[in-house]
Structure 1
């Protein structure tokens, strides 16, 4: 899906890691939400409360889930899941455009 309809977009950006990661919250009529963002090249660690689906719209990265030794490559058009109450390390290899869905 390349377009969302009947949504509310939070105007203020979420800014992380000295501006290297930014996102905006998109809220749907049923109260569910996603974030749309950009990640600049670098290495970051994110924590999760809810389970997440990370869809990579453009760019390249590699990630590993908390407790895993193996790094997994992901490119535009691919996605990965992160469990709730966890964390993941991510290395952005080239600018990444992403959509993060928060799962119940």
Structure 2
């Protein structure tokens, strides 16, 4: 199991889509921020305020990236990068987990 050390975790969860997507914000020792979340089966659209690297920790996401017309599968262990101020969609058929690193 991968562990993060010397972090601060927000007490309140970030809850989206009536609880079908839930994440926790974590601040690392160097001041950088990440969120760790769980996504229930379904399809969801998100927007970014800043650049992000999304890593699939467990499960699998199909992702419709900005400006694309084809969904791309991202299995456990894979990642994709997003620019600031874009919208993208995620769908999954299983409970899946992610880590979002802000860049």
What band does the TM-score fall into relative to the shorter chain? over 0.9
SS of 1:101's partner is strand
Root mean square deviation of aligned Cα: 1.2
Point out where structure 1 has 5 or more consecutive residues left out of the alignment: none
Residue equivalent to 2:85? 85
Runs of 4+ residues over 6 Å off in structure 1: none
2:30 aligned with 1:26, yes or no?
Answer: no
TM-score, with structure 2 as normaliser: 0.95
TM-score, with structure 1 as normaliser: 0.94
Post-superposition CA distance 1:42-89 (Å, at most 9, x none): 000000011111111100110111221011001111111111110101
Residue equivalent to 1:66? 66
Distance in 2, Cα, partners of 1:8 & 1:25:
8
Q: Looking at secondary structure, tell me which structure has more strand per residue.
A: 1
Distance in 2, Cα, partners of 1:68 & 1:6:
38
Point out where structure 2 has 5 or more consecutive residues left out of the alignment: none
SS of 1:68's partner is coil
